[in-house]
């Protein structure tokens, strides 16, 4: 992996919202890179800034949101500085995106086909009939039965799973190099989620694209990602490859999170619970953002913000008390594999 050049490199990204109530530091220093063909998972609880991160990459923030610092290097260009026209050429063409709610992410007054063809005509500069063919092809590829018929249907005529497939077809119609999937399966049933995840893996292989998979479901992360970034309150707290993360989490938050999920594969007497609530983005705590809920927190945590440091090769953690966690891991009985 190291041999390759990263496709996308995000450096110290800071995206703030300037609202009437104050400045929301939704993303406050995020670094990661995505290599061609790999899947980067971004995981974190609601409101931690996952979506804002992805929207920042495509520069689709609303007028209140500003990228205040950092760079987003895609194929050598800094997207933050790119002019709007150039950016538009990248959107949908080089980087595509799918959203959480397939119900509302499609325009209700145009047919699915229309909406897919739009991007094709725009980026591939083909004729309408040609575009339609491509669209039908695409729909078939994502496993929609009778694509010739479905192409002329309106979104509300499709089921949730179908719509998400159509969204995927739309995103992939121009063969992007990077697909950003923002919780693509959260709104779907598990059996459908399984279908979609399978489809995405398949398509990734076929098209050789990189994926940024955003989710709050650690199960999905485990299933699909190569590397994982864990976010908490606008910050990256841990960043490493998927196996290491699940086997040997180094950040107290990651660790607690893993133990808080009820699991199918192991018996748990009692769930580990993280006290308190996710802090409100307007009033982030000082120092380490997690210190209010962290059992290892010290005076230092309260006052100084830990940086993301590479504690071992390719494993980044932002915590002052890594050792304390190691010690505690033995104390806490998490349960055993069946």
Partner 1 sequence: MNEIILEVKNLKKYFPIRAGVFRRIVAWVKAVDDVSFNINRGETLGLVGESGCGKTTVGMTILRLYEPTAGQVLYGNKDISKLRGKELREMRRKMQIIFQDPYSSLNPRMRIKNIIAEGIITHDIAKGREAEHMVAELLKRVGLSPDQMNRFPHEFSGGQRQRIGIARALAVNPELIVCDEAVSALDVSIQAQILNLLEDLQKDFNLTYIFISHALNVVKHISDRVAVMYLGKIVEIADKKELFSNPLHPYTKALMSAIPIPDPELKRERILLKGDVPSPINPPSGCRFHPRCPIADPKICSREEPELREVKPDHFVSCHLV
Partner 2 sequence: MIAYIIRRLLLLPLILFGVTILIFGMLELLGPEKLVSAYIRGPEAEKVAGATQKIIEKYGLDKPLPVKYERWLGNVLKGDLGWSLVGKQPVLSAILSRFPYTLELALWAIIPVVFVGIWLGIISAVHHNKFLDHFLRVFAIIGWSFPDFVFGLFMILIFYTQLGWFPPGYLSFDMERVVTSSQFVNYTKMVTIDSILNLRFDVFLDALRHLIAPVITLAYLWWAYILRITRSSMLEVLRKEYIRTARAKGLSEDVVINKHARRNALIPVATVSGQMIIALLAGTVIIESVFNRPGLGRFVAMAATQLDYMSIIGGALFYSILLVLGNLIVDVSYALIDPRIRLQ
Ligand X SMILES: Nc1ncnc2c1ncn2[C@@H]1O[C@H](COP(=O)(O)OP(=O)(O)OP(=O)(O)O)[C@@H](O)[C@H]1O
**Closest separation between CB of residue 70 and ligand X, Å?**
15
Q: What is the residue-wise DSSP string for 194-262?
A: HHHHHHHHHHHHHHT-EEEEEES-HHHHHHH-SEEEEEETTEEEEEEEHHHHHHS--SHHHHHHHHHS-
63 binds partner 2 (CB under 8 A): yes
Q: In the complex with ligand X, which residue's Cβ is closer, 49 or 147?
A: 49
**Closest separation between CB of residue 143 and partner 1, Å?**
10
196 binds partner 2 (CB under 8 A): no
216 binds ligand X (CB under 6 A): yes
163 binds partner 2 (CB under 8 A): no
Which residue among 6, 29, 41, 65 contacts ligand X (CB under 6 A)? 65
Report the distance separating Cα 315 and Cα 245, nearest Å. 8
Q: In the complex with partner 1, which residue's Cβ is closer, 124 or 186?
A: 186
Please say whether the beta carbons of 112 and 99 come within 8 A.
Answer: no
Residues 217-221: contacts with CB under 8 Å, at least 24 apart: 217/43, 217/185, 217/186, 218/43, 218/246, 218/257, 218/258, 218/261, 219/261, 220/41, 220/185, 220/193, 221/41, 221/43
HSE-CB of 140 using CA atoms within 13 angstroms: 10
275 binds partner 1 (CB under 8 A): yes
26 binds ligand X (CB under 6 A): yes
Q: Of 42, 6, 12, 8, nearest to 228 (Cα)?
A: 42
Q: In the complex with partner 2, which residue's Cβ is closer, 122 or 311?
A: 122
**Closest separation between CB of residue 54 and partner 2, Å?**
10
91 binds partner 2 (CB under 8 A): yes
Contacts with partner 1, 138-167, as mask; x by CB under 8 A: ---------------------xxxx-----
Which residue among 7, 142, 144, 170 contacts partner 2 (CB under 8 A)? 170
Report the distance separating Cα 12 and Cα 29, nearest Å. 4
Mark out the alpha helices in 159-189 (DSSP H runs). 160-172
Q: Which stretch binds partner 1 (CB under 8 A): 20-28, 89-97, 107-115, 239-247?
A: 239-247
48 binds ligand X (CB under 6 A): yes
Does an H or E element contain 310, and which?
strand 309-312
108 binds partner 2 (CB under 8 A): yes
Which residue among 27, 48, 79, 119 contacts partner 2 (CB under 8 A)? 119
Please, which of residues 122-161 interact with ligand X by CB under 6 A?
none
Q: Of 266, 225, 268, 261, nearest to 243 (Cα)?
A: 225
Which residue among 3, 21, 46, 85 contacts partner 1 (CB under 8 A)? 46
62 binds ligand X (CB under 6 A): yes
Report the distance separating Cα 234 and Cα 212, nearest Å. 17
Helix, strand, coil percentages (3-state) for the chain, rounded to 5, are: 35, 25, 40
198 binds partner 1 (CB under 8 A): yes
Which residue among 11, 124, 195, 248 contacts partner 1 (CB under 8 A)? 195
Q: Which 3 state secondary structure label does DSSP give 82?
A: coil
Report the distance separating Cα 2 and Cα 335, nearest Å. 35
Q: Of 295, 326, 322, nearest to 309 (Cα)?
A: 322
Please, which of residues 40-59 interact with Mg ion by CB under 5 A?
51
Residues that bind Mg ion (CB under 5 A): 51
Residues that bind ligand X (CB under 6 A): 17, 19, 24, 26, 44, 46-52, 62, 64-65, 216, 281
Residues that bind partner 1 (CB under 8 A): 45-46, 159-162, 189-195, 197-198, 216-223, 225, 242-243, 246-247, 256-258, 260-265, 268, 270-275, 277-278, 293
């Amino acid at each position: 992996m190291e041999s390759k050049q990263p496709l996308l490199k995000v450096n110290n990204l800071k995206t703030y919202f300037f609202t009437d109530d104050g400045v929301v530091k939704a993303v406050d220093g995020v670094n990661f890179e995505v290599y061609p063909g790999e899947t980067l998972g971004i995981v974190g609880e609601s409101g931690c800034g996952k979506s804002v991160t992805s929207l920042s990459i495509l520069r689709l923030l609303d007028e209140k949101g500003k990228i205040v610092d950092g760079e987003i290097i895609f194929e050598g260009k800094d997207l933050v500085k790119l002019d709007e026209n150039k950016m538009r050429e990248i959107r949908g063409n080089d980087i595509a995106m799918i959203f959480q709610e397939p119900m509302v992410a499609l325009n209700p007054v145009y047919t699915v086909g229309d909406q897919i063809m739009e991007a094709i005509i725009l980026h591939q500069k083909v004729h309408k009939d040609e575009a339609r063919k491509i669209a039908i092809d695409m729909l078939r590829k994502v496993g929609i039965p009778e694509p010739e018929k479905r192409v002329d249907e309106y979104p509300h005529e499709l089921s949730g799973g179908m719509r998400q497939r159509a969204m995927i077809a739309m995103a992939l119609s121009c063969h992007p190099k990077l697909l950003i999937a923002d919780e693509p399966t959260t709104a779907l049933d598990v059996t459908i989620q399984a279908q979609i995840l399978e489809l995405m893996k398949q398509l990734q292989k076929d098209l050789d694209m990189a994926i940024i998979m955003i989710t709050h479901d650690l199960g999905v992360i485990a299933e699909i990602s190569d590397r994982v970034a864990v976010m908490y309150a606008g910050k990256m707290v841990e960043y490493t490859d998927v196996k290491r993360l699940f086997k040997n989490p180094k950040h107290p938050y990651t660790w607690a999170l893993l133990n808080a999920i009820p699991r199918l594969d192991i018996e748990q007497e009692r769930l580990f619970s993280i006290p308190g609530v996710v802090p409100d983005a307007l009033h982030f705590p000082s120092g380490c953002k997690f210190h209010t809920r962290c059992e290892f927190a010290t005076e230092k945590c309260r006052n100084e913000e830990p940086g993301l440091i590479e504690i071992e090769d390719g494993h980044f953690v932002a915590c002052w008390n890594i050792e304390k966690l190691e010690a505690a891991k033995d104390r806490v009985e998490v349960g055993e594999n069946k």
